[in-house]
Amino acid sequence: MRVVVYGAGQLAQMMYLAGSPLGIQVEAVDVSNDTVVHPVSKQPLDITLAQAIETADALTVEFEHVPERLLEDAASAGKLMPNIESILVGADRVREKKLLEKMSVANCKHRIVTDVEQLDACVEALGEKLIIKSSRDGYDGYGQWRLSEAAELPALKNTLSDLDLQKVPLVVEQMMAFDRELSLIGVRNKQGDIRTYPLAENLHHQGQLHVSVAPATDTNDALQQQAHDIFTALAEGMDYVGVLAVELFQQGDKLYVNELAPRVHNSGHWSQSGAVTSQFENHLRAVCGLPLGDTAAIGPSAMVNIIGCSSFSRDLLSIDGSHLHWYGKSVREKRKMGHINVTTDSYENLGEKLMQLSQYLPLEYFPKLVGEAKRLKG
């Protein structure tokens, strides 16, 4: 079997590594120049994109911001999974909000803004504490602004005045007083079978994910079922095939959808060593029409992102249950360079191992690590 992935970053690389034992050949597309490349070496392959599409069993994506012309070509081949409509939902927050409303899925109160003067009405309707998000191309904290009080509104309007909001509207959300951020990774195959992973708890810093812990602490069957039901409604409603990530806010015993990612996701990386079947393998199984793998957790796991640095001791591998995943990128501020997975048999031991891990890392780049280690240790 052959799967072509649009995008040639770390997610395509990890799909390649997951596909090899299954006999699934994974190739990647550098969407900046339409070149088919090896997912690990990034070296161009002796095949055109048209030939790759023709000979592939499935076409998929590693990120949602693939140029629409490429998605349309892939969709016309009848092999694109998830479908183009689902991918475009992930790339456009206006489409995303409309989908959530259509499916009656709880999400943050919001307004769509196509003119800065509409922000006054947003304050009146939603309050003066707001999150303002670009509807397209915003991620990892980019393309987002905050309003903390009404007195800041004139300055915010001035900041946003040069944007073409008719072309790229804003989604203005009420700032929710949530208890914590969670995410659910789920998968649906061609036959309509669905499996979901345990909820993960996510810790962010400056808009970027730094640490995920799965299964999330202090959950229960009812909360997991609520998340599963949300995933099922969305996946079936979109006729979705593949892995879908649902980012959630928890407020009391209620879950609200924050964002969707129509692909394998950073908050599911823990599954590489912490679940019976990784999200990468299950995505390939789904798009290739194979039976889905067990999504149960092996034990408590943590995923720690390595962001903007490459200087740390590889001796961290002396910690039992630790695994390093390096992406081979050049260093850049706020760039995800790799991640570390740690899996063990209890949350207390997980906290101990994260504390050990902190001894091998420059902690200025890992601001959430020690605090989370202490919390888990209890």
Tell me the mean pLDDT in the region 348-371: 98
Q: Of 124, 144, 174, which residue sits at a domain end? A: 174
Whether residues 123 and 28 fall in one domain: no
Q: Quick check: is 104 in a domain?
A: no
CA distance 325 to 31: 24
Per-residue confidence band for 302, with pLDDT thresholds at 50, 70 and 90: very high
CA distance 363 to 316: 14
Per-residue confidence band for 207, with pLDDT thresholds at 50, 70 and 90: confident
Q: What pLDDT is attached to residue 19? A: 98
Whether residues 274 and 364 fall in one domain: yes
Q: Quick check: is 369 in a domain?
A: yes
Q: What pLDDT is attached to residue 137? A: 75
Whether residues 222 and 357 fall in one domain: yes
* Cβ–Cβ < 8 Å for 193, 186: no
Whether residues 221 and 337 fall in one domain: yes
Q: What pLDDT is attached to residue 139? A: 61
pTM greater than 0.85 (yes/no):
yes
Q: What pLDDT is attached to residue 204? A: 96
Whether residues 244 and 324 fall in one domain: yes
Under 8 Å CB-to-CB from 213, ≥6 apart: which residues? 200, 201, 270, 300, 301, 302, 350, 372, 376
In this structure, what token pair is assigned to residue 336?
């995800």
Whether residues 203 and 161 fall in one domain: no
The DSSP line for 211-261 is EEEESPSS--HHHHHHHHHHHHHHHHHTT--EEEEEEEEEETTEEEEEEEE
* Domains of the chain: total: 3
Domain of 135? 109-174
Whether residues 43 and 57 fall in one domain: yes
Whether residues 72 and 165 fall in one domain: no
Q: Mean pLDDT for the chain?
A: 96
Give the CATH number of the domain where residue 18 resides. Answer: 3.40.50.20
Beta pairing class for 2-6 and 58-61: parallel
Whether residues 264 and 132 fall in one domain: no
pLDDT tens for each residue of 109-154? 999 999 999 999 999 999 999 999 999 876 655 788 999 998 999 9
